[in-house]
Homo-oligomer: A and B are copies of this chain.
Amino acid sequence: MGIGSNLLDAMIELRKQPRQDRSRAKVDGILAAAADLCSGRGLDALTTNAVAARAGVSIGSLYQYFPGKAALLAALIRAERANLLEAVERIVSSDAAQSLTHLVDELIEATVAHYLARPSLSRTLNLARSQLPPDPEAAEFSTRITVLIAARLNQLKISRPETTAQDVLAILRGMIDAASEAHEADRAALTDRTRRAVLGYLQAA
């Protein structure tokens, strides 16, 4: 997974690794602007011109750091994935994950928090991803998160841990997504219902 590992990377990787603080801040500003636009008015609003304008830099500067629009999107997606993966890593390596109900509770809390932190950004990136060509990074992310959870499920004697982990994630995504689309406000109620759904599924298995 090193930089330059495939041709697509040319379209996607940063042009330069910003080592200085000023550059780092500029890159962050550009990404923040991109996230805002995605979140606010969807994928169509993510134009290089609009991002540059909102970030307060010129289009030329943007292209110094990002080789194109795809690179912006890739960076956003990558950040989002890293977030969720970190959260799951913390959970599975914590003591709270010793019992099934605790594990589930923690996963739900993290997942709900993740997807509802910036719901529309999350959904927009999601659908962007589904329009992109099959991406090895996406596959690796799925695998890693599944494996982390599956390992715990396995210790807890849940059968077919990989499939089960995938299903649990799918159920959570489906329910949280629906709630987010419906602008459902009551997060506690959502957490409670997802809990019933996941535990119900695990017990029925």
Contacts and interface: CB of A to CB of B under 8 A. Distances in A.
A123 interface: yes
Interface in A140-191: 142, 163, 166-167, 169-175, 177-179, 181-182
A81 B166 CA distance: 27
A202 interface: yes
Contact of A42 (B44, B131, B172, B205): B131
A15 B109 CA distance: 49
Q: DSSP class of A's interface residues: helix, strand, loop or mixed?
A: helix
Q: Which 10 A-B residue pairs are closest in the complex by CB-CB distance?
A: A174-B174, A200-B200, A200-B204, A170-B178, A127-B127, A197-B201, A200-B201, A196-B204, A42-B131, A170-B175
Q: In the complex this chain forms, how many copies of it are found? A: 2
A203 interface: yes
Interface in A105-140: 123-124, 127, 130-131
Contacts of A205: 196, 200
A70 interface: no
Interface of A: 42-44, 123-124, 127, 130-131, 142, 163, 166-167, 169-175, 177-179, 181-182, 193, 196-197, 199-205
Contacts of A163: 193
Contacts of A178: 166-167, 169-170, 173
A143 to B, nearest CB: 11
A131 B37 CA distance: 13
A196 B164 CA distance: 11
A125 B24 CA distance: 38
